[in-house]
Chains A and B, each alone.
Chain A
Amino acid sequence: MNRGMTIIVKTVARLISGLIFLFGFYIICHGHLTPGGGFAGGVVVSGGFILLFLAYGSEEAKNEIKIWRASICESLGTFFFWLTAMIGLLGGSFFFLNILPKGKPFHLLSAGIIPLCNLFIGIEVAASVFGIFIALSTLKRGDKS
């Protein structure tokens, strides 16, 4: 069992990971106004999770659950992205139609479905990258032939 690092590391990690999440969320939300977007922000958010994971360590039993949760978040993120794309089709129009009002440029709530898509992509990317990381780093040694 991996008990993680010292209390100092844990405290610092907790403080910093909050900032990382905030930064990642900012990048995701402002994807249509500034550089960045769902992919970059999602990877940043997953970086925060990875920091916490490394600092705190975890019991082996919990890793399975963590991977499972990441997998669920990933499924839901992509599914909602798909649903956003489908709305146009279900409404009798084109696949991937930007149905929401465009709003005023330079405002946070503008550009129709773009911020929404960014959000879902962000969730998917954060979950999937974190999932890959735990799956790789907690791999048990199997049989050697």
Chain B
Amino acid sequence: MMYLLSLVLLIIGLYGVLVKRNLIKIAIALSITEYAIFLFFALIGYKKGGAAPILVEGVKAESFVDPIPQALVLTAIVIGLGTTALLVSIAVRIYEKYGTFDIREISKLRK
């Protein structure tokens, strides 16, 4: 169920990418899909009653949550930041050229 909800979040993001006409809205929608992926990945690694994977005296390693998804999501978050920055800068440049963020308007202006 928990997994399914994060997939619902993913689909909301995909819906935004597909349907929205505003470039910034599309960037926002892509961020939402990324968040859904991060959430799903973090959920996969959770262990019931587990502790954060940082060694403290007296805690057994067996009771830690799975550290691999955390390491991978860490990588994915930074990749997401890079993607968002590039996407936004391209969108800003497009606005500068056409004076609008609307995809339809832009393709009209181009013709």
Contact between chains at A34 and B54 (CB < 8 Å): yes
Interface of A is mostly: loop
**Interface flag for A90 (CB, 8 Å):** no
Interface of B is mostly: helix
Shortest beta-carbon distance from A129 to chain B in Å: 8
Contact between chains at A35 and B52 (CB < 8 Å): yes
Per-position contact with B for A113-145: 1 when CB-CB < 8 Å, else 0? Answer: 000000000000100010010011001011111
Contact between chains at A141 and B96 (CB < 8 Å): yes
Residue of B77, B85, B88, B99 most packed against chain A (CB within 10 A): B85
- Number of chain A residues close to chain B: CB under 8 A: 16
B interface vs A, CB < 8 Å? 52, 54-55, 74, 77-78, 81, 85, 88-89, 92, 96-99
- Complex A-B: 24 CB contacts under 8 Å: A35-B52, A35-B54, A39-B74, A39-B77, A39-B78, A105-B55, A125-B78, A129-B81, A132-B85, A132-B89, A135-B89, A136-B85, A136-B88, A136-B89, A136-B92, A139-B92, A139-B96, A142-B97, A144-B96, A144-B97, A144-B98, A144-B99, A145-B97, A145-B98
A interface vs B, CB < 8 Å? 33-35, 39, 105, 125, 129, 132, 135-136, 139, 141-145
